[in-house]
Structure 1
Amino acid sequence: MTASRHAQWLHARELLVLLLGYALPAMGQVNTGEIRLKVTDPAGLGLKASVEIVSKGNQYNYDFATDSEGAIRIQTLPYGIYRLTVQRQGFADLTKTVEVRSAIPVGYDLALGVAPLNTVVKVNTSDGLLDPYRASSISQIGSQQIQDRVASLPGRSIQDLVNLQPGWLYEGNAVLHPRGSEYQTQFVVDGVPLTDNRSPSFGPEIEADDLDSMSVYTAGFPAEYGRKMGGVIELNTARTSDPGLHGKLILSGGSYDTADGFAQIQNNWGKNVLGATASGSMTSHYLNPVVPENFTNKGTTGDFSVRYARQLTQNDYLTMSVRHELARYEIPNELLQQEAGQLQNRDNIETMGSVSYQHLFSADMVGNFSGMVRDNANNLYSNGQSTPIIAFQNNSFREGYFKGTISIHHKNQEWKAGIESDATFLHERFNYDITDPDQFDDDTPQTFSFAQSKPDLEQSAFVENLIRLDKWTVSAGLRWDHYQLLLNKNAFSPRLSVSRFFPAANMVLHASYDRVFQTPSSENILLSSSSLIGQLSPEVLRLPVQPSMGNYFEGGMSKTVANSLRLDVNIFRRNFDNYADDDQLLNTGVSYPISFDKGILYGAEGKLELVHLGKLTGFASYSYIVGNVWLPVTGGLFLGDDVAAALAQTAGHFPDSQDQRNTVRTRFQYQLMPRIWFAGGLSYGSGLPFEFQGTEEDALEQYGPQVISRLNFDRGRVLPSLAVNASLGVDLYTSERVNVRFQADGDNLNNRLNVIDFGGLFSGNAIGPARSGFFRLKTSF
């Protein structure tokens, strides 16, 4: 079969599988609900009115307006308790507390009474600071925190927000690690999970300005989620329920020649909603450099999306969206590579389309159907001066995803059941030419070329129930997963979360158990498992990378004080079989999955949130994490001398690469006057472990004295990091229709050289930004 006919056959096979997948029932949703309001006057006629909805616990505070008939749909509300306030001039204000507990819309008919003359009515009600019926710990990031965040370098605005939450930390290049787990993080965008690596060096980012809210899970996972289970980050893209034309324009820039632009526009008319977003950025500090000089680190990004939604009937709702993203950037050089004139470039390009359909069968049952198709490409290019190796890579995949859920409310229970199917067609191409043979074994081939394609097929089904029993809440579920790529595996995963509310103490105690089945990373998995890799060395060890099986345990409490302070404290433990990690091929920077016999991660975390104390708001969080990994190696590729080491080391353990014992994050904001606020905070980390393969003199030659001064070779630890930040915000213009806001940010104001990672066993160097400043100008209407 010729190469062209083979490619056509592969493409036809992909389309066939995708079409077969479309024939399956497909539904999808996140853990959010919907409130439908109808506001009337005493005679029952619809009123155009303003609606404020607030939940302090979910960091949710929005103002809406009903249409001329008094109707409004407020969607993508995270589960919790909300305070509704409805106002219309000439009528008495109406305040009501409502709960959102399932995907089934909550409907209310609210009749406003005529306001008595010279009378003010004030209703005191809960703002949902403490949710007494939440069965596990969830971190909520609302619109206010998204808007007031410290400016981020391009490609990592969402990652920076998640990194503020207790239990999360970075390795280099904004790769998130939840509670010490290596990768295994998934982003759920409007109900569709993206399980590939979404850090700046692997995939384009959806901008934080494109979001309404975020929900972050590290325990108590609903059975709805699977496959990548280190942490789950739900992203709800921004949309307004107000009728008419709305939009915003954000311009920002600052240090490292950074410039960003973001625009959003949406029109609501009748039963239709049409919106679009566009963004672009450039910087000379895209990735974390490996030396302070920040050699070869330019990057540009772009993003465009269109979304259309229509209410077909009172019980049927259709949404369609298309998004195209790209990132092009340089790979930072070490000192020796810069001297040689190396230039390596990468690009990530992604196009994604999705469709979702919601049908309300009855007042107590709703079905959601969704499907997604996306194409993703990740490329690496090297110039002729690259050293010690010239590497080229072209990895791509086409993914078809389908999901279906049915939600049923029955008395004090919220049932949900569903299925999902994911077909990903992997295509990998890689080749190299060695330019410095002294850096390799004598028998390493000077050139190498590889190309292969294979489908990754995954299916699952789940059922779960949320039960409220007076002051007790129980969430129980069971999930089944099937994984077929290089191996054919399946597993059942039970999930259980229980909480108890103590009204007298304003406190909720909770505990959870999660059994998780985690599929290996698909990054270069075909290359690392191919028999062709045997050409690289006479000594080769290839072990199939098994899915990880984990048992997660968590116990914790949430407590409020005077409806202004909330304290969340959790302790946790994670036990893994076939603990997932990654390694790099030769000196190319091309990573692939490996696994070890087991891993044990445990620790504690806490967050004190000040909702308001006069004009002051903010938070302080602390995390303590211990991680250890046990030999032997159970999966992955090993070459040359590493083969003997992998076979000989059959016992013992070493620190997990995310074993940072102490992490502190703080940020507080003070309203200086009605239109001006000031904020400040800090980020501290006690330092990650490293295991450098060379001598301290080798490290000095490659990375320079500034980097080496931030390392403790005796302990094998990076020295502690500290970055202080500050912000100033000003509302330049505010009216009923238009708001113009300016914000200035300074980061790492103490100007410490913060080494994040150092040339460790499975990670390269990464240095945080130096002292930097940025500005943002936002106009919304």
Structure 2
Amino acid sequence: MSKQFVYKLFVTLSFALFASSLTFAQAPGTAGTISGTVTDPNGAVVSSATVNIKNAVTGFERTATTDGEGNYRFNNVPPNNYQIKVLASGFQDAAQNVVVRNSVPIQVPFSLAVSGNIANVTVNADAIIVENIPTTHTDVDQSQLRRLPLASPGNGLSDAVTLTSPGVVADSNGFFHPLGDHAQTQISLDNQPITDQQSKAFSTQLPVNAIQSLEVITGATPAEFGDKSSLVINATTRSGINSAKPFGSFTSTVGRFRTFQEEGTFGFGNAKFGNFTAVNFERSNRFLDSPEFVNLHDNGNSIGIFNRFDYSPTEKDSFHFNLFLARNKFEIANTFDQEALGQDQRQRVKSINIAPGYVHIFIASTVLTVNPYYRLDQMNYYPSANPFSDQTQTISQQRRLANAGIRADVAYVKGIHNIKIGGQFQRTFLNEGFQFGITDAGFNPLCFDADGEPVEGTTCGAGTTLNEGFLPGLLSFDLTRGGRLFAFNGRATIKQEAVFAQDSMNFKNGLAVSLGLRFDNYNGLSRGKSLQPRLGVSYLFKPTKTVIR
């Protein structure tokens, strides 16, 4: 299957999703929607009532006001447990607990009692609702992300995951790794799977101020997540839909090593549509981890723009469109010796991510989610202008990695069952080029003189000793001996398909069980098929509110 065909397929699906949403409101991906009607004891609607949704652990909180028909609605609610509280003049406060696990809409109606009645209702707004699910995970909300000391330029997401999630460590340049694995991580961004390494040296990371919540999964991973599953970051981005008024922010920070960061956000919308934009710019004299105690040739900057557009014309269908553009540009840090030679190696990474999504509600318990996507990372590594300033070799590299695919699933909720069945189709187009040449005459000499020093040139004279470790295949690429640069150019297409089925069951006695089965087919640099059963169990001890997984 050609790259042009997959690209045309992606564009066609994106247009079809957009067109269908115009003719047919629901949150994308795993985020949920909570709505309901507030009434009085006689069944008459209560307008202008204040409805608040909150999770006291993560800090997630939103407030809405009922309309003229007594209705309220919360879109783009991250998976978690919440308390909903209703306040209205002349009525007693009321509250209910609700659990959001997928995109199936949840109806939470309220019938308010008139204030002044004998019965009194006490509502604890900060009550902690224990989340009883089998996956080992950490929930992080935007309110927590704003308070984190993000210290690595261009690596804010890595910092956030490392600082909030146990069993996750960072390497010297800040990229996160799960316990026992190297970079075996996946980001599910509004249901878009991203499994390519997100280190700032190879790609760009989504800015933290564009994220509404993170669910960092480190154990009992559900079957919907495959490929790299040692660490799964289920991310929900911020949205402007259902905003009561425009909102935004701007911050500017200054740190050591002449580190400056400017970031801004702006969102607006109503019940039908919304738009959210996040812009970030960072620069530092210590962009990478320095090999010395002082920073030598270590300047860099990062810029990123994220935009999410939502359109929700009816209660049956919704559409969202994510666009992310970013660029990292930095110098490769030098040692003292490299600085003395005038080494001036640099690197640039450019990324573009396009991800529309469509959600259709068949009935109240059944929801279809479709997410086509296209992502491109382009990396260029530049050598010094003087090749002999790079020792012992001069190297340049050009890499272009593009992903195009589609993910779809059907979610069904009935009784204790929370079922999801779906599949994924993806093509990865990899173009790789690199060049290198030997710049040190002592790296691969033909012979040595009487003092054991390497002899320059391509012949050995009298009094010299042959180098037993000489590699004749490298002679053509030895620039000190009149050679030329070695050049490699290659390309490959990696084909991946997957199907999965899972069921999360919550029993009244506090037992929760997650069952799943996933099949992956991989055909790329190697070939393989994998059938993966998934099982997770948790139990809630209600007297102490303790969950064992």
Secondary structure of the residue aligned to 2:490 is strand
The correspondence of residues 45-60 of structure 1 with structure 2, limited to 5 A, is 45=45, 47-57=47-57, 59-60=58-59
Task: Report the more deviating stretch, 116-125 or 358-367.
Answer: 116-125
Q: Distance in 1 between matches of 2:76 and 2:270?
A: 19
Q: Partner of 1:409 in structure 2?
A: 413
Paired residues of 1:186 and 1:233 also in contact (CA < 8 A): yes
Alpha carbons of structure 1 residues 21 and 204: separation in structure 2 relative to 1, 3 Å: closer
Q: Does 1:255 align with 2:294?
A: no
The one-letter code matched in structure 2 to 1:456 is I
Deviation at 1:275, TM superposition (A): 2.1
The one-letter code matched in structure 2 to 1:397 is L
Alpha carbons of structure 1 residues 116 and 238: separation in structure 2 relative to 1, 3 Å: same
Alpha carbons of structure 1 residues 155 and 41: separation in structure 2 relative to 1, 3 Å: farther
Paired residues of 2:40 and 2:46 also in contact (CA < 8 A): yes
Q: Deviations over 1:32-81 (max 9, x none)?
A: 43212334566634523433222234x13313223644544323434332
Q: Partner of 2:75 in structure 1?
A: 75
Q: Deviations over 1:144-164 (max 9, x none)?
A: 321111142321222112112
Q: Partner of 1:217 in structure 2?
A: 217
Secondary structure of the residue aligned to 2:109 is strand
Deviation at 1:408, TM superposition (A): 0.8
Paired residues of 2:150 and 2:159 also in contact (CA < 8 A): no
Secondary structure of the residue aligned to 2:401 is strand
Paired residues of 2:239 and 2:275 also in contact (CA < 8 A): no
Paired residues of 2:10 and 2:372 also in contact (CA < 8 A): no
Alpha carbons of structure 1 residues 46 and 386: separation in structure 2 relative to 1, 3 Å: farther
Q: Distance in 2 between matches of 1:92 and 1:300?
A: 54
The correspondence of residues 678-689 of structure 1 with structure 2, limited to 5 A, is none
Q: Partner of 1:388 in structure 2?
A: 392
Deviation at 1:138, TM superposition (A): 1.0
Deviation at 1:130, TM superposition (A): 2.1
Secondary structure of the residue aligned to 2:173 is helix
The correspondence of residues 545-584 of structure 1 with structure 2, limited to 5 A, is none
Deviation at 1:125, TM superposition (A): 7.5
Q: Deviations over 1:241-268 (max 9, x none)?
A: 4322111112212211111111111111
Q: Does 1:352 align with 2:331?
A: no
Q: Deviations over 1:275-315 (max 9, x none)?
A: 22211111111111111112111111111122211113211
Unpaired runs of 5+ in structure 2?
18-26, 445-468, 479-484
Q: Distance in 1 between matches of 2:406 and 2:10?
A: 7
Task: Report the more deviating stretch, 323-332 or 62-71.
Answer: 62-71
Deviation at 1:88, TM superposition (A): 3.7
Q: Distance in 2 between matches of 1:126 and 1:508?
A: 19
Alpha carbons of structure 1 residues 75 and 68: separation in structure 2 relative to 1, 3 Å: closer
The one-letter code matched in structure 1 to 2:65 is T
Q: Normalization by structure 1: what TM-score?
A: 0.60
Secondary structure of the residue aligned to 1:504 is coil
Q: Distance in 2 between matches of 1:406 and 1:271?
A: 24
The one-letter code matched in structure 2 to 1:181 is D
Deviation at 1:502, TM superposition (A): 2.2
Q: Partner of 2:137 in structure 1?
A: 138
Equivalent residue for 2:537, pick from 498, 523, 532 = 498
Q: Partner of 2:102 in structure 1?
A: 102
Secondary structure of the residue aligned to 1:150 is coil
Q: Distance in 2 between matches of 1:217 and 1:318?
A: 27
Q: Does 1:369 align with 2:358?
A: no
Q: Distance in 2 between matches of 1:239 and 1:91?
A: 32
Secondary structure of the residue aligned to 1:174 is coil
Q: Partner of 2:548 in structure 1?
A: 509
Secondary structure of the residue aligned to 2:287 is coil
Secondary structure of the residue aligned to 2:250 is strand
Q: Partner of 1:157 in structure 2?
A: 156
Secondary structure of the residue aligned to 1:172 is coil
Paired residues of 2:13 and 2:372 also in contact (CA < 8 A): no
Q: Partner of 1:606 in structure 2?
A: none
Deviation at 1:457, TM superposition (A): 1.1
The correspondence of residues 278-677 of structure 1 with structure 2, limited to 5 A, is 278-383=279-384, 384=386, 385-439=389-443, 442-443=470-471, 444=474, 445-446=477-478, 447-469=485-507, 470-510=509-549
Q: Distance in 2 between matches of 1:423 and 1:74?
A: 35
Q: Distance in 2 between matches of 1:188 and 1:91?
A: 42
Deviation at 1:117, TM superposition (A): 10
Q: Partner of 1:196 in structure 2?
A: 196
Q: Distance in 1 between matches of 2:254 and 2:152?
A: 9
Alpha carbons of structure 1 residues 167 and 120: separation in structure 2 relative to 1, 3 Å: same
Secondary structure of the residue aligned to 1:225 is coil
Alpha carbons of structure 1 residues 283 and 75: separation in structure 2 relative to 1, 3 Å: same
Q: Normalization by structure 2: what TM-score?
A: 0.85
How many residues are paired up?
497
Unpaired runs of 5+ in structure 1?
1-11, 511-781
Q: Deviations over 1:110-145 (max 9, x none)?
A: 3445544999852248834422x3113111112232
The one-letter code matched in structure 1 to 2:8 is L
Q: Deviations over 1:504-558 (max 9, x none)?
A: 3432222xxxxxxxxxxxxxxxxxxxxxxxxxxxxxxxxxxxxxxxxxxxxxxxx
The one-letter code matched in structure 1 to 2:361 is L
Q: Partner of 1:654 in structure 2?
A: none
Q: Distance in 2 between matches of 1:119 and 1:253?
A: 55
Q: Partner of 2:8 in structure 1?
A: 19
Deviation at 1:338, TM superposition (A): 1.2
Q: Partner of 1:169 in structure 2?
A: 169
Q: Distance in 2 between matches of 1:326 and 1:196?
A: 16
Task: Report the more deviating stretch, 26-35 or 362-371.
Answer: 26-35
The one-letter code matched in structure 1 to 2:436 is Y
Q: Distance in 2 between matches of 1:207 and 1:471?
A: 38
Q: Does 1:181 align with 2:181?
A: yes
Q: Distance in 1 between matches of 2:245 and 2:125?
A: 31
The one-letter code matched in structure 2 to 1:56 is A
Q: Distance in 2 between matches of 1:265 and 1:71?
A: 27
Q: Distance in 1 between matches of 2:288 and 2:103?
A: 39
Q: CA-atom RMSD, angstroms?
A: 2.6
Q: Distance in 2 between matches of 1:67 and 1:397?
A: 48
Q: Distance in 1 between matches of 2:311 and 2:175?
A: 37
Secondary structure of the residue aligned to 1:203 is coil
Q: Distance in 1 between matches of 2:416 and 2:502?
A: 14
Q: Partner of 1:63 in structure 2?
A: 62
Q: Distance in 1 between matches of 2:401 and 2:256?
A: 35
Q: Deviations over 1:176-235 (max 9, x none)?
A: 110120111112211112111112222112121221111111111010001112211122
Task: Report the more deviating stretch, 219-228 or 185-194.
Answer: 185-194
Q: Which has the higher strand share?
A: 1
Paired residues of 1:53 and 1:82 also in contact (CA < 8 A): yes
Alpha carbons of structure 1 residues 79 and 426: separation in structure 2 relative to 1, 3 Å: same
Alpha carbons of structure 1 residues 506 and 322: separation in structure 2 relative to 1, 3 Å: closer
Secondary structure of the residue aligned to 1:343 is coil
Deviation at 1:500, TM superposition (A): 2.0
Secondary structure of the residue aligned to 1:366 is strand
Paired residues of 1:265 and 1:277 also in contact (CA < 8 A): yes
Alpha carbons of structure 1 residues 429 and 73: separation in structure 2 relative to 1, 3 Å: farther
Deviation at 1:97, TM superposition (A): 1.5
Paired residues of 1:37 and 1:73 also in contact (CA < 8 A): yes
Q: Distance in 1 between matches of 2:440 and 2:383?
A: 14
Q: Distance in 2 between matches of 1:197 and 1:498?
A: 30
Q: Distance in 2 between matches of 1:307 and 1:153?
A: 25
